Amino acid sequence: PRSSSSSEMHHGFQEMELEHPIPQVGRNTKLLEYADLGTGDYRAPSFSVVYEDGGAICPLTYKAHRIMKGKLPMTAAKGRLPELRGGGEECSTLVVEMQDK
């Protein structure tokens, strides 16, 4: 008589030995703060460049960071983007420096 349990033998293996979840791998499965082109992250890239040879992949890597009191001025936005209110004692800014290798 055949057993209907989940541990039946199939080709010398227990059925439960053959069933393994597929791990979620790759940048598209992680909620990273920064989306970059050509690295498996399928979101729209955070920025884009086109080199003289037509290439557009720019895998940036972390170089340094610093935490500053206050906020950086957003003069280029000319008031068209939302920004924090507050001064040096009420907020801080994280500046992350990236590099193209």
Q: Let me know whether 52 and 63 are in one domain.
A: no
pLDDT in tens, 60-74: 888 999 999 888 878
pLDDT in tens, 10-24: 566 666 555 666 666
Say if 11 falls within a structural domain.
Answer: no
Q: Let me know whether 72 and 92 are in one domain.
A: yes
Q: Let me know whether 72 and 101 are in one domain.
A: yes
With contact defined as beta carbons under 8 Å apart, do 98 and 49 qualify? no
pLDDT in tens, 24-55: 666 666 667 777 787 777 788 888 889 899 99
What is the rounded distance in angstroms from the CA atom of residue 33 to the CA atom of residue 65? Answer: 15
Q: Let me know whether 54 and 66 are in one domain.
A: no
pTM: 0.53
Q: Let me know whether 64 and 54 are in one domain.
A: no
Domain count within the chain: 2
Residue 46 is part of which domain span?
20-58
Q: What share of the chain is helix, strand, coil (3-state, %, to 5)?
A: 10, 25, 65
Give SS3 for 76: helix
Q: How many helices (H) and strands (E) does the chain have?
A: 1, 4
With contact defined as beta carbons under 8 Å apart, do 93 and 67 qualify? yes
Q: Let me know whether 37 and 54 are in one domain.
A: yes
